[in-house]
Amino acid sequence: MDISAFSSDNFDVKNWINESLKNVKDQDNKSVYVGNMVKKLQLYVQQVNSGLEEMNEQVVASLPRIMRDANVLSQEAEMLQQKMSAVKQEIIDVEKNTRASMASLERIDKIKSELLSAKQSLHEADNWTLMTTDIEEIFERGDIEGIAAKIVSMQQCLAVLTHTPDYEDKRLQLETLKNQLEAIASPHLVQAFTSKHLDDAHKFVRIFSSMERLPQLLSYYDKCQKGVYCEEFKRVVERGEELSGDTLVKQVYEFLLSEGQNQVGEKIPPCSYLKPINLPMIFGFTESDLIQPPSRLRTLIHAPLSPHLSNYSNLQYNSMLAQLHKQEDVTREDVMDQVDGLAHSTDVVFKIMTEAITTCFQLSRGCVVTQLIDSCHKFLTDYLHRFASISKQISSQHNDAQVDAWHLFPLCLGFLQAQGDLLHRMCVWSTLVGERVNETRGNAVTEYVQLYLNRDETRAFNSFLLMVEQALNGGTLVWNNDRTVPSGNRAQG
């Protein structure tokens, strides 16, 4: 007999009886079967009643113990609460008792710090007096290194005496001592620079750096180099009176190049500026030569640069390519790593291209901007081969039945994002080129065009200026296969 149906929420007595008697066909057998079922049910009821009575007895027997445990827990909770209240009160008492002590300790520590500062100030003030006396004796001996060492010590001492009333007087006194040392050292300094004594030059660099007078040292160096260059230029002219201006300027440039290489090899700071007085007159140019646009002198001076500017596109391209290989790591094998690396490599590429704009306009005032665009176009074309390679790898994985399509989804999404970033940066870069060209337009650029460019290059440059003007009036510059063109003329391009 199945009694599991009694535990069902939808128990129906009639259905249960009918199901139980369904297989009994004889009427007599049904009566017997029903009687047996009633007896079994009575036995089940007795068993359930016995179980309930036994459980009730156990519960009643355990109630006293449960009550005792509950009382014990209640007492322990009250004791814990009392202890916590006592601890809290102790903490409050400790804070009240130590607050005044902590304030006293802080005040004492502050007084101690002030006393130490005052002690150090008094000590340094005493040292200042002693060093002032000592440095006068060293000045009498003319010991330059000894004077410099004392001045450095006085600088350190003065840094501690910033809050003293006579700080400004001491500072002026120290500056006076520095001026005196500079006056004493200047003849030796000029001699060292003129005769190129490296040990003496390094010594004076160390001395002037220690007393914070390095700009003055560089000024002396510039003046010395200026004199050397002027004398050398005069000798070049005197030796080559029958030579043409081109040859003379070439010899001067060769001398300057040799001097620069020697200074770099000897770790001497190069001359910060070169302004020989009456340099045009040294080469024998008259005022009429300088007035004619472009002047003969300017043509000769810029002549060595023109051949290199004619090859500017290749030079700039090779330079950018070398910078990319140096700054960007391309040793990525996994296609996901390659896609992730596109963001970094794109940053590097357009950083290099932006620096190329600055170099172009500093070197040629923008005259070779068309060659700059050609070199950047070639540079970007090489860089786009990386995108093509990644696209082929993604297509290969897409055709592979073992690769899950959902695995390719983030890969394609990142790849599309990298392409969009590349297109955006190309537009920004093109606009930047147009703005720089527009800023430098005028007579000055025209003169440099005459100096640097031949007829075909000048025609290309003027055409580009027209494109820029149209683009700035009607849109941005965009890229096509041959040239940067205005967005309004994209169809014609």
Q: Does residue 215 surpass a pLDDT of 80?
A: yes
Give the residue-averaged pLDDT of 309-321: 85
Say which residue, 403 or 475, is predicted with more confidence.
Answer: 403
Instruction: Determine, yes or no, domain membership for 136.
Output: no
Asked if residues 165 and 125 have their Cβ atoms less than 8 Å apart, the reply is no
Residues 48 and 80 in one domain: yes
pLDDT at 291: 40
pLDDT at 275: 37
pLDDT digits (tens, 9 = 90+) for 172-205: 888 888 888 888 888 888 888 888 787 888 888 8
Domain range enclosing 173: 142-283
User: Could you say which of 126, 153, 172 is where a domain stops?
Assistant: 126
Report the C-alpha gap between 463 and 459 in whole angstroms: 6
Residues 337 and 463 in one domain: yes
Cα 109 off chain centre by? 43
pLDDT at 84: 92
Highest-confidence segment of 227-236, 284-293, 386-395, 479-488? 386-395
State the amino acid at position 385 in one-letter form.
H
Instruction: Determine, yes or no, domain membership for 306.
Output: no
Instruction: Determine, yes or no, domain membership for 303.
Output: no
Q: Which of 17-26, 102-111, 331-340, 475-484 has the lowest mean pLDDT?
A: 475-484
Residues 341 and 377 in one domain: yes
Instruction: Determine, yes or no, domain membership for 492.
Output: no
How many Cβ atoms sit within 10 Å of the Cβ of residue 329?
10
Instruction: Determine, yes or no, domain membership for 299.
Output: no
Question: Using CA of residue 107, residue 108, residue 109, residue 115, what is the dihedral sign?
Answer: positive
User: Could you say which of 102, 126, 150 is where a domain stops?
Assistant: 126
Residues 71 and 202 in one domain: no
pLDDT digits (tens, 9 = 90+) for 380-426: 888 888 888 888 888 877 777 776 767 777 878 888 888 888 889 88
- Domains: count for the chain: 3
Instruction: Determine, yes or no, domain membership for 8.
Output: yes
Describe the crossing of helices 27-141 and 13-21 by its angle, rounded to 10 degrees. Answer: 120
pLDDT at 268: 46
Report the C-alpha gap between 148 and 125 in whole angstroms: 19
Instruction: Determine, yes or no, domain membership for 396.
Output: yes
Whose CA is closest to 44, among 87, 102, 3? 3
Residues 33 and 112 in one domain: yes
**Sequence-distant (≥ 6) Cβ neighbours of residue 365 within 8 angstroms:** 440, 444, 445, 448
Residues 171 and 226 in one domain: yes
Residues 418 and 318 in one domain: yes
CA dihedral 266, 271, 277, 283 (to 10 degrees): 50
pLDDT digits (tens, 9 = 90+) for 131-141: 777 788 888 88
For residue 312 the two structure tokens come to 């500017």
Asked if residues 370 and 437 have their Cβ atoms less than 8 Å apart, the reply is no
Residues 77 and 146 in one domain: no
Instruction: Determine, yes or no, domain membership for 487.
Output: no
Res. 80 pLDDT band, cuts 50 70 90: very high
User: Could you say which of 68, 91, 126 is where a domain stops?
Assistant: 126
Residues 376 and 331 in one domain: yes
Residues 19 and 92 in one domain: yes
Asked if residues 416 and 399 have their Cβ atoms less than 8 Å apart, the reply is no
Angle 22-28-34 from CA coordinates, rounded to 5°: 55
Residues 94 and 159 in one domain: no
Average pLDDT, the chain: 76
Residues 154 and 99 in one domain: no
Q: Does residue 229 surpass a pLDDT of 50?
A: yes
Enumerate the H helices of 6-162 as residue ranges: 13-21, 27-141, 144-160
Whose CA is closest to 356, among 320, 390, 328? 320
Using only C-alpha atoms, the chain has a radius of gyration, in whole angstroms, of 48
Say which residue, 259 or 212, is predicted with more confidence.
Answer: 212
pLDDT digits (tens, 9 = 90+) for 325-381: 876 655 566 777 778 778 888 888 888 888 988 888 887 777 888 888 888 999 888
Run of H or E including 486: strand 484-486
